[in-house]
Amino acid sequence: MNRTKLIKLEQVANIRTGLSLREAIKPVDNGNASIIQIKDVKSNNEIDYSHVIQTELKNIKIKRALQRGDVLLRARGANRNAALFDRKGSNYQAANQFLIIRVNAEELLPEYLQWYLNQKPAQQYLAENSAGTSIPYTQASTLADLGIIVPSLRKQQAIACLQKLSKDEEHVMQQLLLNRKKMMNTIVYDLMK
């Protein structure tokens, strides 16, 4: 039995904009919030938590804090990739350069949604329906209207697992290339002696 269906994103998720800040983020040790910015999302669509700035925010809204499984979509610029927030605890906030998608239906896995948003059909829809002239941006209402193909949970889990294995392979390959480069440099320096 084929349980794949096409539904609008707004039917299975809540969408909101990131935190709007009035001034530049100033780093504060042991601050009350960690702010994820565009620069913290790597080219492989993973969040680099090691560079997230910790700061002190006044009137902070804990209910706006990110939750494990939230999907962050770049709302501005030509690159509209999505990253999965996979941390627990602490008060992480996303800057207003992101649209935050929180899945609210058991029939959709956040890992699958993140993968789906990075695929060509979703990216093409976002590009064709963006607003702005000099710097394109995606409105929350545009994202809400995006049709999502939702297969069975088992198929979503398989897709998410394959995606994770692919990313793990990328990490291993990058490490192998770095190790090879170090080895070659060592050999060359030894030959120069």
> Tokens 């398989």 sit at which residue?
158
Distance of CA 44 to the CA centre of its chain: 9
pLDDT of residue 61: 63
Ordered by where they begin, the domains of the chain are 5-152 (3.90.220.20)
CB contact at 8 A, 16 and 96? no
Residue 99: burial class (beta carbons within 10 Å; 0-12, 13-18, 19+): buried
| pLDDT tens series, the chain, 193 aa | 457 889 999 999 999 999 887 778 888 888 888 999 999 998 889 999 998 999 888 776 666 889 999 999 999 888 899 999 998 877 899 999 999 999 999 999 999 999 999 999 999 999 999 888 888 899 999 999 999 999 999 999 999 999 888 887 888 888 898 899 989 888 888 888 8
Distance of alpha carbon 63 from alpha carbon 54, whole angstroms? 18
CB contact at 8 A, 140 and 16? yes
Q: In Å, how far are 57, 92, 115 from 21, measured between CA atoms?
A: 9, 14, 29
The model's pLDDT over 61-109, given as tens digits with 9 standing for 90+, comes to 666 889 999 999 999 888 899 999 998 877 899 999 999 999 999 999 9
Distance of CA 80 to the CA centre of its chain: 10
- Full-model pTM: 0.85
Helix ranges (H only) for the chain are: 110-117, 120-128, 140-144, 153-191
